[in-house]
Amino acid sequence: MDLTVSCLSHVYPGRKTRPALEAVDFTVPSGQFVALVGPSGCGKSTLLRLIASLIQPTAGRIEIDGGLTPSQAAAAQHIAWMSQSPALLPWLTARDNIAILRRVLPEGTRLRLSPDEALSMVGLEAAAEAYPFTLSGGMQQRLALARLLTLDSSLWLMDEPFAALDELTRERLSQDLLELWQPLRPTVLWVTHNIYEALRLANRVLVFTPQPGRIAADIDVPLPYPREEADPAFQQVLLQVRQALSLNRNQYEAAHA
Amino acid sequence: MDLTVSCLSHVYPGRKTRPALEAVDFTVPSGQFVALVGPSGCGKSTLLRLIASLIQPTAGRIEIDGGLTPSQAAAAQHIAWMSQSPALLPWLTARDNIAILRRVLPEGTRLRLSPDEALSMVGLEAAAEAYPFTLSGGMQQRLALARLLTLDSSLWLMDEPFAALDELTRERLSQDLLELWQPLRPTVLWVTHNIYEALRLANRVLVFTPQPGRIAADIDVPLPYPREEADPAFQQVLLQVRQALSLNRNQYEAAHA
Amino acid sequence: MKPHTPDSSARAALIIVLVFVLLWEGGVRLFSVPVYLLPAPSTILLTLAQNASMYAQATLLTVGEALAGLLLGVLAGVIIAVLLTLVPHIEAGVMSLAIMIKSTPLVAIAPLLTLWLGFGVLPKIIITALLTFFPVLVNVISGLQRVDGALLDLFRSWRASRWKLFLYLRLPSAVPYIFAALKISAPLAITGAVVAEWTGASGGLGRVMWLAYANLNLPYLFAPIVILAAIGISLYRLLAHAERRLVFWLPSSTVE
Amino acid sequence: MKPHTPDSSARAALIIVLVFVLLWEGGVRLFSVPVYLLPAPSTILLTLAQNASMYAQATLLTVGEALAGLLLGVLAGVIIAVLLTLVPHIEAGVMSLAIMIKSTPLVAIAPLLTLWLGFGVLPKIIITALLTFFPVLVNVISGLQRVDGALLDLFRSWRASRWKLFLYLRLPSAVPYIFAALKISAPLAITGAVVAEWTGASGGLGRVMWLAYANLNLPYLFAPIVILAAIGISLYRLLAHAERRLVFWLPSSTVE
Amino acid sequence: QTPGAASTPEEPDQLVFMAGYKPQANLPFVGVYVAQEKGFFAGQNLEVTIEHSAGQGQHLQMVSSGKVHITTQDAGILLRRRSDPGLPLVSIALIGQQGQQAFAALDTSGIHTPQDWEGKRVGYKGTPPPELFALIQAAGADLDKIELVNVGFDPRLLVEDRVDVYPVYKSNEPYILEQWGHPVRLWAPEDYGVPSLGLTYVTSDETLASHTDQLTRFLKAALQGIAYAEEHPDKAVDIVLQYTGPETDRDHMLFMLLEEIEDAHSDLTDEHGLGWQTREQWESLAQMLIEYEGMQQVDVEQVFTNALLEQAAGIK
Ligand SMILES: Nc1ncnc2c1ncn2[C@@H]1O[C@H](COP(=O)(O)OP(=O)(O)OP(=O)(O)O)[C@@H](O)[C@H]1O
Ligand SMILES: Nc1ncnc2c1ncn2[C@@H]1O[C@H](COP(=O)(O)OP(=O)(O)OP(=O)(O)O)[C@@H](O)[C@H]1O
Ligand SMILES: [Mg+2]
Ligand SMILES: [Mg+2]
């Protein structure tokens, strides 16, 4: 499912002087795994919310699957969105937090996994009957991830899905995710602050400037999976991303000094 | 402010079969910066909550400052705790979320920073009048951090304070934090999933086993500040921590297979 | 930091109520208040005991009407609240009508109901329902509207229909408000049934009380109040208990 | 997805109320319902217009009593709720007493109040307060107890005193519940003042209505209801407006 | 409040009068309204506060507790309250020599005698009054064949055919029903030889003892007011309208006043003056209550006194 973002801007009401996103332009071909990185508050979450049509842009257009508006795409269940906070229903057990999809989504919507399969995918089999408030931060995030993976959508919008996870869990889940992604080839927008994680997963990294978010660099990651940190090619892309990040930070700080 | 944890166990009510912590023993001398790492759900947050006396242990003892119970230490305002979620008051602006400390803490409690100083320390000067729900995830976390830094306490309990921050912000804040920590020398327990971050900051790393959490390794970090990733000594400790983490993961998986 | 068990709080409740009753008894005796102004609790209890079976019968009728009216009122309140949540454009209008109905003293409507529906229990049930539906409506609307923003976004990202959003998100979120509404309405329903029976009823505690009052027989007037209070307190505690069990995910302790 | 502005909803409200009134008028005319059963809205409005100054005077008195009683009731409800939150061990006991008071038909207390306090407005204010305090009490207690667990932990980590916890966390958290309580109690206060005046008052809409009822002069009985409804609706809208401004941090829109 | 206070003309004595029901043209009320407005109270150096009861017994509680000095009450109720729960009430003047209780059926109902009530629904307010039983028995109807229905105050029930016979006050509901276009037929207890007495001025034992002089002067002025109303019923009704709301029908009030003036007169009053009462009157009423309602025996001598009337006749 391809995605075209043209000249997208967003200003939150009451925030006239500080737009969250400014003139963002990019195109994602179907099946690409794009990592979005950028400083805190630069508008990454805003971008995802715009594509999920949770908010309406102040200016610019988003086209999905060759012409659908975000709202149409969402209505067709093409989009799966995972927010930065886990957003679990406190009155449901872990399993029911996934099983609720069956009830909420329109009759006949296909789901990829059963709740128990999804739970075991993120290592929460043992917590199936636990309520969200008895789960640790990382477990809550994994539950939200399991819920997203259950959806049979072709555009995944994922807002820092591994932020609360330890390195090992992150690594294991990355592998599982890639295994899932490679045959299905959904288009993925993956917000992260962890560059290693970005480079282990993505085909492409979009680096954003500090607020107001604009695209500072568009970096290809032409490495085969599985990837190794020690690989010099990996280290080279890593350096590229780091430079893009710190460069625009320096620019920004110079401009605002 | 030193800290002694002896044979500490915690079982949440209704969770008889899966203790969160089991027989944890360690001593932290005054002024040490200890990083706690371990897999998701291993009981790190639980440990911090026990020390902050938000919950009572099922077994074992905690002694602070040579004999105080956690409850006494907390009453004397020796402890500053930062939870894994930002826990901001939604009806107060960013500044007032910090200024409220003045009102809530007992008359005459010394605060280290003014609200505005704290905000500028975490780069939120411009958001002083913003309400929490208009802040990005990383901004919320920085606000919670600013609030903690305002407290004049000698034991800091910090639960993944940088989880939602990008690398650059993280780096800058790490430096600022070290600058603050070095002259004051509070004792710090710092939960993190980022081993680089742990090794940039801590004097010592405690590695926990998967649930039920026990101490798997107690690793010294005898490196001078500022630390460089490229430094071979750094890489060596990194390897040590990684091994401790994956080792006990393998053990655990073997045991539960 | 001591946990306060249901047991210890029940004991505290008993003590407080007892002190109140003893003060009352003492006051009446000390100032020898005549019985036609304020009867002593002992007199009231004696009356109650001596007419137990008559009161039991009347109570049955009144409680039946109260519960039926409460059910009707709660249903009406919830259904209107649901409707207004699903079709929000009519909210202001329907609320205005509801307030209009609420502003009409029942004493003006009650005779009309008797005219239309006869002397049976139906008018009493409807009056009780009219008394109870408003708190339910207001609280349930509040509850249905106050939904966590992150969860709302989640459901919107799923394109959940308004009805499913309501069923799986708004309704569970409103449960604490619904319980508050029930706690308000349950005692109201009992008073409502009594007021509805006050004149023109063929039975029930309301009629008993009206006759007692018309005869200025205050022990007979106050004896039913003991029953009403007991029922009110029981209903309230039942609701509080159910609430603790159903709203387990929200902390509600006031004790630390 | 269209935003629903206060303006458009006010228009919708007007239309709904108008349709209701027209149906009523039409029904009365079509079936030529005799005026002693149900007067037509036009008759009621005419009565209202012809006695405008008398009604204005009565309204002033009644609204004054209602507001004073509401204030007293809200204060009492809030203060008791606060007390119970700060001293939770007495909760069950005090709630039992409150339900006891709530279960006592006012008609049994009213003469006692007149005996103690004379024939002035004071007994009316107190009766209104007695009617309104209970919803406030129940809702405010609910609100004070339902505090976000993470924030509660934060305050506990600060060792905030119970009082500060209350002031800076519980109270702001309870604001949505307090507004729901006010929305319930405000119309109740008006009815309460009317009921208190219903018998034995020397003025006010309640007395006007009682006299009209005793004469079965229904236009005069219903005319004050128009006034009461208008006041009730205005109060409700005022509160809803204040709520939107004060509880800005919680989403409350039902429209998507 | 000492008797001496009366001698200081600048300091009028304070009295609180509470009418037993809403403001309307019941004769004892009218007497007080007129006395107030025409200055008869002032003439007796009294300052009277006029309150109104909702008619549910509050006024009796008030009089018993001394908050109200004088009120009005039906002779029958007064007897019952004196008997149980023992309210210390005394009638100081019996204005209604005949009771106002009666039973009404629509003219169009085809009911002509109490025998026709059989198989029909007869309403009562609260509890069936003893007058009803006495009347049915005196008329020779069969109580068992009559369905008794509790109706409360709402004559619309008669018009809307929810009941066939409805209890009324002769001076009140018949007028309203007539106005609605439904003339009625009335049966009054006294027509069947059943004793019935109307409204009295009531005070309590204690007030009677402590305020004898003030009450006497009150009675004097009130009777003067009644006399004025008999002479100028129209002017009296105008005065009544100052106390009622704008919803009140002037003709209704006039109807009520004239009805009650008629019933205030009997052979006794012709001889002794308005308000006069006798042991025989009270005794026969009490007997009826005892027989048909199981009322406890009361000493009727405690229930009324003509002493104030006698004294009042003596003063100017
Ligand atoms: N509801 C809102 N109202 C007003 N401003 C908002 C709102 N949500 C976000 N913002 C502002 O928009 C900007 C971008 O926020 P956004 O959440 O998109 O950042 P982000 O890139 O996701 O940051 P992070 O990495 O910290 O999550 C921030 O300055 C934030 O304060
Ligand atoms: N309130 C609770 N009731 C029951 N079980 C709980 C509760 N809180 C935590 N637990 C359980 O205790 C264990 C440890 O939780 P804890 O939050 O301490 O983990 P953690 O090490 O902080 O994990 P993470 O890195 O994911 O934050 C988990 O299995 C969790 O499910
Ligand atoms: Mg974000
Ligand atoms: Mg944790």
**How confident is the model over C126-151, as a mean pLDDT?**
89
What are the chain C neighbours of E60 within 8 Å (beta carbons)? 216
Q: Does ligand 2 come within 6 angstroms of the Cβ of B46?
A: yes
pLDDT single digits (tens) A140-186: 999 999 999 999 999 999 999 998 898 888 888 999 999 989 888 99
Nearest to C186 by CA among C143, C230, C236: C236
Q: Does ligand 2 come within 6 angstroms of the Cβ of B192?
A: no
Contacting partners of chain D (3+ CB pairs under 8 A)? B, C, E
Q: Map tokens 């609204």 to a residue.
A: D63
Per-position pLDDT tens, chain E of length 316: 444 444 555 689 999 999 988 889 999 999 999 999 999 999 999 999 998 887 777 888 889 888 899 999 999 989 988 888 788 999 999 999 998 889 999 999 889 998 899 989 998 887 788 888 888 988 888 888 898 888 877 888 888 888 899 999 988 889 988 888 889 999 998 888 888 899 999 999 999 999 999 999 999 999 999 999 999 999 999 999 998 878 888 999 999 999 999 999 998 889 999 999 999 999 999 999 998 888 888 888 899 999 999 998 887 6
Alpha-carbon distance of E282 to E195, in angstroms, equals: 9
pTM: 0.87
Nearest to C158 among A85, A90, A104 (CB): A104
* Per-residue pLDDT at A13: 85
Neighbours of ion ligand 3 (CB under 5 A): A 45, 84; B 136-137
Residues 6+ apart with CB under 8 A from C53: none
- Cβ distance E157 to C114 under 8 Å? yes
Q: Does ligand 1 come within 6 angstroms of the Cβ of B137?
A: yes
Q: Is the peptide bond before D111 cis (omega within 30 degrees of 0)?
A: no
**How confident is the model over C26-37, as a mean pLDDT?**
84
- What's the helix, strand, coil split of chain B in %, to 5? 40, 20, 40
Query: Domain segments of chain D: what residues?
Result: 41-246
Pure H helices in chain B = 44-51, 70-75, 94-104, 115-121, 137-150, 167-184, 195-201, 232-256
Half-sphere exposure of B134 (CA within 13 A, CB side): 21
Q: Does ligand 1 come within 6 angstroms of the Cβ of A55?
A: no
Mutate which of D202, D211, D213, D222 to disrupt the E interface (most E C-beta within 10 Å)?
D211
* Per-residue pLDDT at D109: 77
* Per-residue pLDDT at C145: 86
Q: Is C169–A89 a contact, with Cβ atoms under 8 angstroms apart? A: yes
* Per-residue pLDDT at E3: 46
**How confident is the model over B239-255, as a mean pLDDT?**
72
Best-predicted range by mean pLDDT among C63-72, D96-105, D115-124, E55-64? C63-72
The angle that helices D91-103 and C218-246 make with each other, rounded to 10 degrees, is 130
Nearest to A39 among B84, B169, B195 (CB): B169
Which chain E residue has the Cα nearest residue C203?
E150
Burial class, A161, CB count within 10 angstroms (exposed 0-12 / middle 13-18 / buried 19+): buried
**Minimal-distance CA residue to ligand 2 atom 6:** A134
Nearest to E247 among D107, D202, D215 (CB): D215
One DSSP character per residue, C190-219 reads HHHHHHHHTTT-SSHHHHHHHHHHHTT-HH
Q: How far is the CA of B138 from the centre of ligand 3 (A)?
A: 7
* Per-residue pLDDT at E9: 57
Q: How far is the CA of B155 from the centre of ligand 4 (A)?
A: 18
Q: Which ligand is nearest to the CA of A192?
A: 1
Q: Does ligand 2 come within 6 angstroms of the Cβ of B17?
A: no
- Cβ distance A142 to A123 under 8 Å? yes
* Per-residue pLDDT at E294: 83
Alpha-carbon distance of E116 to E120, in angstroms, equals: 8
Q: Is A104–C151 a contact, with Cβ atoms under 8 angstroms apart? A: no
Residues 6+ apart with CB under 8 A from C239: C179, C182, C183, C186
Alpha-carbon distance of B70 to B82, in angstroms, equals: 16
- Residues, chain B, total? 257
User: In the structure, what pLDDT confidence band is assigned to residue B171 with cuts at 50, 70 and 90?
Assistant: confident
Strand arrangement, sheet containing E166-169: E166-169, E101-106, E184-187
Main-chain dihedrals φ then ψ at residue A36, nearest 5 degrees: -110, 120
* Per-residue pLDDT at D256: 35
* Per-residue pLDDT at B44: 93
Provide ipTM, 2 decimals: 0.85
Main-chain dihedrals φ then ψ at residue B219, nearest 5 degrees: -110, 125
Q: How far is the CA of A45 from the centre of ligand 3 (A)?
A: 4
* Per-residue pLDDT at D255: 39
Mutate which of B89, B133, B140, B158 to disrupt the D interface (most D C-beta within 10 Å)?
B89
What are the chain B neighbours of D154 within 8 Å (beta carbons)? 83, 87
Looking at per-residue pLDDT, the higher value among D36 and E251 belongs to E251
* Per-residue pLDDT at C256: 35
pLDDT at B249 over 80: no
CATH topology of domain C41-246: MetI-like fold (1.10.3720)
* Per-residue pLDDT at E61: 85
Nearest to E185 by CA among E146, E157, E150, E158: E158
Would you state the structure tokens that stand for residue A173, as one six-digit string?
A: 């889940």
Contact status of C95 with chain D (Cβ, < 8 Å) = yes
pLDDT at D5 over 70: no
Q: Does ligand 2 come within 6 angstroms of the Cβ of B207?
A: no
What are the chain D neighbours of B109 within 8 Å (beta carbons)? none
What are the chain C neighbours of E85 within 8 Å (beta carbons)? 35-36, 215-218
pLDDT at D72 over 80: yes
pLDDT single digits (tens) E185-227: 999 988 888 888 999 999 999 999 999 999 999 999 999 999 9
* Per-residue pLDDT at C213: 81
Alpha-carbon distance of E194 to C227, in angstroms, equals: 40
pLDDT single digits (tens) A94-129: 999 999 999 999 888 889 899 999 999 999 998 999
